[in-house]
Amino acid sequence: MSRLSARPSRNSGMAERPVQRGAIRLLAMQGIEAVHVPNGVRFTGDKLSRIKQAAAFKADGLRAGFPDLIVFGKRPGEVGFIEVKREVGNDLDAEQVVWRDMLRERGYPWAMIRLPEEALAIVREWGWIR
């Protein structure tokens, strides 16, 4: 592999995990707690072990498409949801659209971010910070 091909593309942008971690840190600096929901967990072992692990997580309540972060504001009743995507590409899948629509219909704030700073803009838009 050449040195050039080993580098990330200029258009690839920030990966999802650094976006999420940055958002959590920025929110915490404002006194807002964010809890990650591990829907993207990777199972280990052979095929049968992975199937059993997936079945156990599903039985425990794991649901495809659920937002990555549950966000708690400083005041009672401030609960929102944030879907985190990498900076470039990667739109919502069908299950994520269902969760987005259901949460919004029930009156919960929901947003998608591609950069950590967008988390602050979102909670500001929700009226949780100035």
Q: Tell me: the pLDDT tens digits for 119-130?
A: 999 999 999 999
Per the domain annotation, does 5 fall within a domain?
A: no
Count structural domains, the chain: 1
- In terms of pLDDT, which residue wins out, 87 or 119? 119
d(CA 15, CA 55): 28
Distance CA 130, CA 125 (A): 9
55 occurs within a structural domain: yes
Average pLDDT rounded to a whole number, residues 75-101: 94
The answer to the question of residue 100 being in a domain is: yes
Q: Is residue 37 part of a domain?
A: yes
Identify the pLDDT of residue 58: 86
Residue 2 counted as domain residue: no
Residue range 36-59: mean pLDDT, rounded:
86
pLDDT of residue 6: 37
Containing structural domain, residue 58: 13-125
Please report, for the domain that includes residue 50, its CATH number. Answer: 3.40.1350.10
Looking at the domain assignment, is residue 111 inside a domain?
yes
**Do the domain assignments include residue 130?**
no
